[in-house]
Amino acid sequence: MTGMIALLTDFGLRDSYVGVMKGVMLNSYPEVSFIDISHSIEPFNIISASYLLYSAWDYFPKGTVFLSVVDPGVGTERNILLYLYNNNILITPDNGTISVLKRMHPASRTLIVSNQTIEKKRIGMSDTFHGRDIFAPLAADIAKNGLASIQAREEEGVVLKKVWPEIDKEKAKVSGSFIHIDHFGNCVSSIHASDLAGIQINAPASIHIGETRIHGVKRCFSDAAPGEFLVYEGSSGFLEVAVREGNAAENLHITDETRICIQYQC
């Protein structure tokens, strides 16, 4: 199989931005193929991007190059980061987009691309569309040639603390925030099933979400009545909040600021 690039941006679908990036990459690497992860995440929502990349990572063929351009700092001095794990590579502005990947896969490598490489690969001088002028040629080059011609230094990338929950094993309490709201209004929390290991001894759980209180973690939607709220382990292993056949984000007014807290009665 030839190179594959998986794309994530907040560019939306009404412009030519994504198509133009693909055109640029095909120009220098005609055999490349693309899979779109999403281009419709909330503009500038780095945490959401970070979650989606994690949710996709292990399901793509080994050797996939992920290119994420959620880049509120375009035109400023922010770095360009490479994240390497399990034979896949992510290229992204260094702004926290690796947060969930880094949390779940800490044994990964991160590299900052040198300015010399960036200037050498860039194809245009726009300061508002680095996706086209810098990221696309860089991703095509890496998908085609690996890291052979990329100058980069090992360095910790930016991570956002929000994706880590607070765990108090003694009090049997875990609290977190929400990191993604999906198309159906299901809300993905920062609490991963693995965060409950050693706490959750089949004890009943009392779950607070903002002002709402729910009892117990369920298996799936059909374990709740239509219209009922439920908390369950989502398909990426994080706890999610949904309302069966409804929209949890709207009904519970869940925002970036809302907290979720699980308390086990030991």
Interface positions with its own copies (CB under 8 A) = 1, 4, 6, 8, 11-20, 22-24, 26-27, 30-31, 35-44, 52-53, 55-56, 59-61, 64, 72-76, 124, 126-129, 132-133, 180, 182-184, 219-223, 232, 234-235, 240, 245
CB of 54 to its own copies, least distance (A): 9
Instruction: Give start and end residues of each alpha helix (H) in the chain.
Output: 17-28, 46-57, 99-104, 115-121, 130, 136-145, 248-251
CB of 199 to its own copies, least distance (A): 22
Cα separation, 39 vs 264, in Å, equals 39
Nearest to 90 by CA among 118, 70, 114, 115: 70
Q: Based on CB atoms, which residue is closest to its own copies, 23 or 156?
A: 23
Angle between helices 17-28 and 136-145 (to 10 degrees): 40
CB of 163 to its own copies, least distance (A): 16
Q: Based on CB atoms, which residue is closest to its own copies, 2 or 149?
A: 2
CB of 121 to its own copies, least distance (A): 15
Question: How many other CB atoms are found less than 10 A from the CB of residue 85?
Answer: 19
Q: Based on CB atoms, which residue is closest to its own copies, 78 or 173?
A: 78
Q: Based on CB atoms, which residue is closest to its own copies, 57 or 172?
A: 57
Cα separation, 178 vs 259, in Å, equals 7
Residue 129 CA, chain-centre distance (Å), reads 21
What pairing do the DSSP bridges indicate for beta strands 152-154 and 166-168?
A: unpaired
Q: Based on CB atoms, which residue is closest to its own copies, 111 or 138?
A: 138
Cα separation, 165 vs 199, in Å, equals 14
Q: Based on CB atoms, which residue is closest to its own copies, 7 or 142?
A: 7
CB of 253 to its own copies, least distance (A): 19
CB of 184 to its own copies, least distance (A): 6
Cα separation, 80 vs 112, in Å, equals 6
Cα separation, 73 vs 127, in Å, equals 10
